[in-house]
Homo-oligomer: A and B are copies of this chain.
Amino acid sequence: MNDRNVYRVDLRELEFVLFEQFRIDQDLLGRAPYQQFDADTTRQMMRLARDFAYQEMGPLYQSSDRDGCTLRADGTVRLPDGYQALWNKYIAAGWGAMGTAGAPYVLGMPILEMFLGANPSFTCYSGFCGSLAEMIRTFGSVALQDMFCDKLATSAWSACMCITEPGAGSDVGNIGTRAVRQDDGSYLLQGGKIFISAGYHDLTENTVYAVLARVQGAPGGTLGLSCFVVPRYAVTADGGIGADNHVRCVRLEQKMGLHGCATAQLSFGDSGPCRAYLLGEKENIGLRQLFLMMNQARISTGIFGLGMASSAYLNAAEYAAGRVQGSGLRQSFNPRAPRLPIIEHHDVRRMLLEMKSKVEGCRALIYKLALHVSQAQALRAVPAHTAACARDDAATAVALRRHDGLVNLLTPIVKAYASDQAWRVAELAIQVHGGYGYTSDYPVEQYARDIKILAIWEGTNYIQAADLVRDKLAMGKESTLLRLYEGEIRQSIAAGADHGLLHHEFSRLGEAMDVPCAMHRRCAAWTAQGKMELAFAFATRFLESMAEVTLAWLLLDAAVIAARRLREIGSAGAQDDTPFYRGKILSAQFFVGNQLPMIHGRARSMEEADESVLQADAGIFLERSQLYV
């Protein structure tokens, strides 16, 4: 049985970020290579996506949680009721080609946010189509492109990323799946993969697996891994469906949430030969290649968290506006005092403001990252010889370095912070709903369950933090990238210093910015002292500090715009948008006044430089009660 749609989104807010805060209509759309996109088509597309999310995807959100997925005795997988019909509508409406229609990456953000927010388990089934197509186009031979790219680009065939094995989770280098080269240049694959999201189903007539495996004789570790393209059914010469390629689903996981997404344990080549195609010409560079998909998966993880958290917040606000309970603080002991909707209670507003500011901050962060991706792609798409002179070439190179650098810097922050905060927002949304929030009458408990995987998959959130500290910011050594980033924030602070209304908040942002900078230096110092372990034990706190400075910055940026709009509205008299813009200012003020100060707690903890993690050993943790049996 389908339910009513429970998904909520505020298009006004999404459009604010795209058009008022990041001004993509002025700075990105309408120019090469995005000449055919403008603000109107974008808004129109967003409305269509919202309608599809509300009318088609949302009603299956709760029912798919109840239905779950089952592995049938014949080896096929039963998906939740209605998924095949929904998939057909999704393809018919053209959403399956969304990622590859030449639109800038940033335009995909609001769409993906809405689809993942309305029904993440369903959306997972088309999650990797676009990025696998892009990966094959980037690295694959023409033959491989011909075989797969068009099918993937329209989601006619679905795609999966296959990395994890029972003995190789975070330890990717331990992968044991083997590939043996054949005379025709293809490979035969043998091995098993686990935790493959949307890994086995018949929504599409074929599924294409990107599989990390080790060619027979290749070195151990990550530098011996190659990336293979493996179809579930062989592809015939004319691009049709051929014979079974012996990819089997061995088991489905029983999970805390995301029940509608078949999380499969797969075997390759156990029931017969499984043919695999090496991506590109060279072996042993698979992990590097696969990072094209992985980085997009990390960003999508952030969007997944954002979409759910945003709907959790709006559900909580809607509930709080309708639920009447208790009277005003000053009348709490007067039984005849009028009862209030709980949105009038200040602690409920505190929770709503925490949710609102985190959701809006994460949205700005993610859209900003996507904007840098789009800008870099635009620069690369316009051939260099059209540049007027060498000076332009140099400027382009500088701009590209900036965009690429910020994409690199922000990706782990988006993945980890947005997923952790989505969990926190869902927790608050449950709390606002009281006892009802614990029941499946409301969607918020399911949001929490669906969100929890985000901190784990596509590299755990610690792996993100370690990536940020070690790979992106050079273990605290002098970093051009951090300097660039700090410079952009300091510039905003300098510009905002004159802003009467937000002057105080900008000065607080300046003090907060000192914290990640100090932490970064401290990482270098610890490393120099032979205590690199401490830098890693603080990596999560460093990432959180970077994230919260960034959120405060982007929220203040939005608040400055909102304040300007409020002045304009004031003189024009058109006040429909007044609560919206006031809300943007309050988001920034709340975040700076209530969340950002916690960064100074982390700074104190860094100064303490407690070495318990170095002194602890397994013996202090393990249960001793067997001594007493």
Contact = CB atoms under 8 A, between A and B. Distances in A.
Contacts of A622: 317-318, 321
Contact of A224 (B335, B461, B583): B335
Interface stretch (A72-80, A178-186, A393-401, A613-621): A613-621
Chain A interface residue count: which class? 35 or more
A605 interface: yes
Interface stretch (A9-17, A131-139, A141-149, A234-242): A9-17
A623 B315 CA distance: 9
A47 interface: yes
Contacts of A321: 618, 621-622
Contacts of A430: 256, 452, 456
Contacts of A455: 431
Nearest to A455: B431
A198 B434 CA distance: 19
A318 B452 contact: no
A156 B330 CA distance: 46
A340 to B, nearest CB: 10
A243 to B, nearest CB: 32
Interface string A305-323: 0000000001001101100
Interface in A313-339: 314, 317-318, 320-321, 324-326, 329-330, 333-336, 339
A223 interface: yes
B255 A11 contact: no
Contacts of A434: 169-170, 456, 460
A174 interface: yes
Nearest to A610: B593
Contacts of A87: none
A455 to B, nearest CB: 6
A271 interface: no
Interface stretch (A22-30, A290-298, A437-445): A437-445
4 tightest A-B contacts by CB? A221-B335, A593-B610, A601-B601, A583-B620
Interface of A: 8-13, 47, 50, 164, 167, 169-171, 173-174, 194-195, 219-224, 253-257, 314, 317-318, 320-321, 324-326, 329-330, 333-336, 339, 341, 343-344, 346-347, 349-350, 352-353, 356, 423, 427, 430-431, 434-435, 437-441, 445, 448-449, 452-453, 455-457, 460-462, 465-466, 508, 532-534, 536-537, 539-540, 576, 579-580, 582-583, 586, 589-590, 592-594, 597-602, 604-605, 607-610, 612-625, 627-628
Given A11-B625, A256-B445, A347-B540, 5 more contacts: A169-B435, A256-B438, A431-B456, A445-B452, A597-B608
